[in-house]
Amino acid sequence: MQTTFRMDGLTGAERPAKPWMKVAPTIITIGIIAAFAVHGRIAQPANYNDFADHSAVFGIPHAADVLSNAGFALVAIWGWLALHPHRTDDQLRAGWPGYRLFLLGLFLTAFGSAFFHLAPGNGRLTWDMLPIALAGAGLLVGVRGDTRPRSKTNIEAIVLALFATASVAWWVYTDRHGAGDLRPYLLLQVLPLILIPLWQSIYRAPRTERVAFAAAMALYVVAKIAEVLDHQIANTLQFVSGHTLKHLIATAATAAIVWGLTRRFSGGGGRTAGTCTISE
């Protein structure tokens, strides 16, 4: 006797989750917002714009910090070319508005960050922060959309893009009044690190994607550590600064995300419905 059944790899409503688990992300988000509110203003470090890289190539100042941003544009182009043709597929439709925003933010990061590092200062920092905030917002919407395959997330992408813009505008406003506050901006960097693995666990995302995103989150944390240790790394290694390494490691993190998403359409992502035959 031969029995054939479907194996559906879709997440979200297709995969049941316990009710209390579904509300956990909301509770955690409220808790994080409350913690930021209680903490009070978070200012940019006074010496933030004092980067260790002083290399020059073809007249480009801080060349390593400037040119190391090129990888963001390359990953964004790769992601767009690989994912855009599948934007209406069931595996990507709900998440595409978010991933589109992520790729756009990533592409703009290459130019915004390069522009900032040519002459580091708070006046140019806006153009570095804004695309990063947009990319973080896009990731949140994209993964959240994956948990609800039939949802329409265009409005959510617009709302979070506006919040990302407002978070940078808030920092600019408060900084000009002598009390710069990074809390809304940092919220868009903290939430993806917590909510994305939580959503993927609750809604049982394919293992390949969970591994890819986990690798990306880990690399991002390492990149932030390299950023903090900018001068120490430069003094130790001599040939590269911590901030340049941050760009390279963060590029690898975004590449891991794009790779994980493209696996959906290569037969290895676990989201494509198929059939399995059991013989008795």
Q: Are 242 and 226 in contact (CB under 8 A)?
A: yes
**Cα–Cα distance for residue pair 103/139, rounded to 1 Å:** 9
pLDDT at residue number 4: 38
pLDDT at residue number 120: 96
pLDDT at residue number 41: 93
pLDDT at residue number 13: 42
Residue 86 DSSP label: G
pLDDT at residue number 172: 95
**Cα–Cα distance for residue pair 229/10, rounded to 1 Å:** 41
- Structure tokens that stand for 198 in this block: 């939580």
Cβ count near 190 (within 10 Å): 15
Domains of the chain with bracketed CATH: 62-269 (1.20.1070)
pLDDT at residue number 150: 76
**Cα–Cα distance for residue pair 131/188, rounded to 1 Å:** 12
Q: Are 146 and 270 in contact (CB under 8 A)?
A: no
Residue 108: strand, helix, or coil: helix
- Structure tokens that stand for 190 in this block: 């903290």
**Cα–Cα distance for residue pair 34/187, rounded to 1 Å:** 11
Q: Are 6 and 277 in contact (CB under 8 A)?
A: no
CA distances from 153 to 56, 76, 85, 188 (A): 44, 20, 18, 18
pLDDT at residue number 169: 97
Compute the residue count for the chain: 280
- Dihedral sign from CA coordinates of 263, 129, 111, 160: positive
pLDDT at residue number 214: 95
User: Which residues pair with residue 46 across a beta bridge?
Assistant: none
pLDDT at residue number 139: 97
Q: Which residue, among 71, 63, 180, 54, has the nearest Cα to 126 in the 3D structure?
A: 180
Residue 5: strand, helix, or coil: strand
Q: Are 76 and 100 in contact (CB under 8 A)?
A: no
Helix axes 96-118, 122-146, angle to 10 degrees: 160
12: left (phi over 0), alpha (psi -120 to 50) or beta: left
Each residue's pLDDT, cut to its tens digit, for the chain (280 residues) gives 444 333 344 444 444 556 667 789 999 999 999 999 999 999 988 889 999 999 999 999 999 999 999 999 999 999 999 999 999 998 999 999 999 999 999 999 999 999 999 999 999 999 999 999 999 999 999 999 998 877 789 999 999 999 999 999 999 999 998 889 999 999 999 999 999 999 999 988 899 999 999 999 999 999 999 999 999 999 999 999 999 999 999 999 999 999 999 998 886 445 544 333 333 3
Rounded to two decimals, the pTM is 0.87
